[in-house]
Amino acid sequence: MKIDEIKNTISQIFAMVELEFRRVIHDPTEMVTRAIQPILWLVVFGGVMARAGVFSNIIKSDYITYVTPGVILQSATFIALAYGILLVFERESGLLKRLLASPMPRFNIIVGRSIAGAIRGSIQYLIIIPLAFLVGAHLVPSLINLTLGYIFITYGLIGFTSISIAIASILKTRERFMGIIGAITMPLFFASNALYPIEVMPMWVKVIAQYNPLTYIISGLRNLLIYDSLDIALDLLALTFFNVFSILLATASIHRIIE
Amino acid sequence: MKAVQVKNLVKVYDGKIKALNGVSLEVEEGSICSILGPNGAGKTTLIRIITTQIPQTEGEAKVFGMDVKHEGSKIRNLIGYVPQELSLWTDISAYENLLIYSKIYKIPKDVRDKRIAEVLDLMGLEEAANRVVKTFSGGMLRRLEIASVLLVKPKLIILDEPTIGLDPNARMLVWNKLTEYKKEYNSTIFFATHYMDEAEKYSDKVFLLDMGKLVISGTPSFLKQLVAKEKIYITLKNGNSQKALKVLSKLKEVSIEEANANRFVLSTKSSKKALPKVLNLLYKNNIVVSEVSIKSPSLEDVFIKYTGHKIEEEGNIKQALATRRMIRLGQ
């Protein structure tokens, strides 16, 4: 690959990210309203569970702190997984036809939009983390850890956005798409370490949780934000597998959306 | 050099619906060519194959000599395409749309803003540049879409129903801008339409398409001459229609197509010569004429002659309009 080609690839990928930024700036309502639910989880659910002292012998921190990464991921994952609806809209308008007839390779469309969706999702991190500090979560108050956490969660959400694009490409209509997304979000959340440690799960949920990418995002975030540890290599590796797999899957299926 | 070359093109959707049934056509580089036909004729399918969006089932399609199946990425670098529906992000501004497109189309950073300003100016949108696209009228939307294509200075511009749903003024404006651009850069324009006046007025060559097949093609004047006949419409003042029918049927220059109470439709090779004779004859027989009009043959007549049905169906246009409106409001 020549330098020019690499430059063009990066420029095209970032055009897709820039597009998303500009849309959010024109209308940030969704970003704010989406944060309401996790805030309730954190304050009400987290508060009650903390007072009951649940898992106090396992989790090495208070429950509000423990659950913070989990509730961020709950709404962030939903945003990433719902991102594909945008492609369904773009399919109904002529935008996708135009994009697929443009010189931008399909791979660049997928990677660009997956990063865009991931950034849309990780905005939740930026809203909820300060609030978590306010309600007394004991997160590591280090700018480095917090920044690493942001990059890490964004990276982890790329794969979920790609999966969403692949699902949109195959299902094509908004009803079917939202039906599936609604059906997988909660199971994904419950079969992960978002609300409770893996140790307390029944065996069969444990098995699922180990194959659930959400588990690795949350575990990495906990290491960075709660335990002040950089031990995230395994999580990164798992998420890299997931991202590569999802991006390839989405690249292979995107053409189906306009057929 | 042929900009587009299509041979025996067949497209079958889902193994059932035959959208194209052996179409062959050629578009000369530097010309403006149109495909004219009713909805469902296969125009959009043909365009989608040429723009490398979907593969054909059989046959061959080439753009500037390159095969759509194997050299798609090279072709995509040379074409500018506006789909029938809407190819803009409606929740950002006009300028932002062009900026994103300029990056997608790899326009170098140092000329980006200059080019964007140029096309906004050409399309008469400079004052609306920073408005969110949602607030645009139908005509402005189309002009912005065309601006986003001209931005790239494509060798081949492919437009699917470029003026669908626009009022006559907006349509004229779109075409004035397009032809202005064409003159300057000598690009090739290939467009699909179901407006016969548009095909007639703006194209060097028209391909009539119906039910997935090419009906006939040629320059608009060649096609019209195939129908040859002009029509004379006459309305009589008094109820002498029986008598009028009798005298007119003796006249060699015209033949009676329709006789409906006081209204007559005559066809003729030349209305210039026939009309004085018709009027004279009626005058001599004391038949008073209240209205006369002449209609030259149109591409619609050609289409009817070769397919037996009309191009435009009102319902379909309304439907297309409603779709566009929904897309605009929905986002």
What does the pLDDT profile of chain B (331 residues) look like in tens digits?
A: 899 999 999 999 888 788 999 999 999 999 999 999 888 889 999 999 999 999 999 999 999 999 999 999 999 999 999 999 899 999 999 999 999 999 999 999 999 999 999 999 989 999 999 999 999 998 899 999 999 999 999 999 999 999 887 888 888 988 998 998 898 888 999 999 988 889 999 999 999 999 899 999 999 988 888 886 788 888 888 767 788 888 888 888 888 888 887 888 888 888 888 889 888 888 888 888 888 988 888 888 888 888 888 876 555 555 555 555 554 544 3
Q: Which residues contact B272 (CB under 8 A, 6 or more apart)?
A: none
CB of A14 within 8 Å of a chain B CB? The answer is: yes
CB atoms within 10 A of CB B26: 16
Residue numbers in B near A105 (CB within 8 A) = 73
Co-location of B100 and B121 in the same domain: yes
With contact defined as beta carbons under 8 Å apart, do B21 and B187 qualify?
A: no
Co-location of B43 and B107 in the same domain: yes
Position A257 scores a pLDDT of: 82
CB of B95 within 8 Å of a chain A CB? The answer is: no
Co-location of B270 and B146 in the same domain: no
Q: Is B328 a domain residue?
A: no
Instruction: Please give the Cα distance from A80 to A168 (Å, whole number).
Output: 12
**In this structure, what CATH number is given to the domain that contains residue B247?**
3.30.70.250
Nearest to A98 among B87, B91, B327 (CB): B87
What residue type is assigned to position B217 of the chain? S
Distance from CA of A213 to the nearest CA of B (A): 31
With contact defined as beta carbons under 8 Å apart, do B296 and B230 qualify?
A: yes
Co-location of B117 and B220 in the same domain: yes
Cβ separation of B89 and A8 shorter than 8 Å? no
Number of domains in chain B: 2
Predicted model pTM: 0.85
Residue numbers in A near B92 (CB within 8 A) = 19, 22-23, 26
Domain boundary among B207, B224, B241: B224
CB atoms within 10 A of CB B247: 15
Position B314 scores a pLDDT of: 53
Position A162 scores a pLDDT of: 97
Residue span of the structural domain in which B267 resides: 229-296
Co-location of B258 and B144 in the same domain: no
Co-location of B195 and B265 in the same domain: no
Which residues does residue B289 pair with via DSSP β-bridges, in sequence order? B236
CB of A92 within 8 Å of a chain B CB? The answer is: yes
Position B331 scores a pLDDT of: 34
Residue numbers in B near A258 (CB within 8 A) = 53-54
Q: Is B30 a domain residue?
A: yes
| Residue entry with tokens 């000369």 | B28
Domain boundary among B180, B209, B224: B224
Position B311 scores a pLDDT of: 77
Position B316 scores a pLDDT of: 55
- If chain A, 259 residues long, is cut into consecutive pieces of 10 residues, what is the mean pLDDT of each piece? 87 95 92 89 88 81 92 94 92 89 93 96 94 92 96 97 95 91 91 91 93 96 94 96 96 86
CB of B190 within 8 Å of a chain A CB? The answer is: no
CB of A2 within 8 Å of a chain B CB? The answer is: no
Co-location of B6 and B117 in the same domain: yes
Domain boundary among B195, B224, B253: B224
Position B317 scores a pLDDT of: 55
Co-location of B73 and B155 in the same domain: yes
Residue in A3, A24, A95, A174 to test binding to B, most B beta-carbons within 10 Å: A95
Residue numbers in A near B132 (CB within 8 A) = 26
Distance from CA of B241 to the nearest CA of A (A): 55
CB atoms within 10 A of CB A174: 15
Cβ separation of A98 and B106 shorter than 8 Å? no
Bridging pattern class, strands B254-260 and B263-268: antiparallel
Residue of A nearest to B108 (CA): A8
Distance from CA of B200 to the nearest CA of A (A): 26
CB of A207 within 8 Å of a chain B CB? The answer is: no
Co-location of B203 and B149 in the same domain: yes
Give this complex's ipTM: 0.90
> Is residue A14 classed as helix, strand or coil in its secondary structure?
helix
Position B23 scores a pLDDT of: 94
Co-location of B177 and B287 in the same domain: no
Q: Is B196 a domain residue?
A: yes
Co-location of B201 and B254 in the same domain: no
Q: Is B327 a domain residue?
A: no
Position B330 scores a pLDDT of: 43
Q: Is B322 a domain residue?
A: no
Distance of CA B51 to the CA centre of its chain: 18
**Counting Cβ atoms within 10 Å, is residue A33 exposed (0-12), middle (13-18) or buried (19+)?**
exposed
Q: Is B95 a domain residue?
A: yes
CB of B84 within 8 Å of a chain A CB? The answer is: yes
Q: Is B330 a domain residue?
A: no
Q: Is B301 a domain residue?
A: no
**In this structure, what CATH number is given to the domain that contains residue B189?**
3.40.50.300
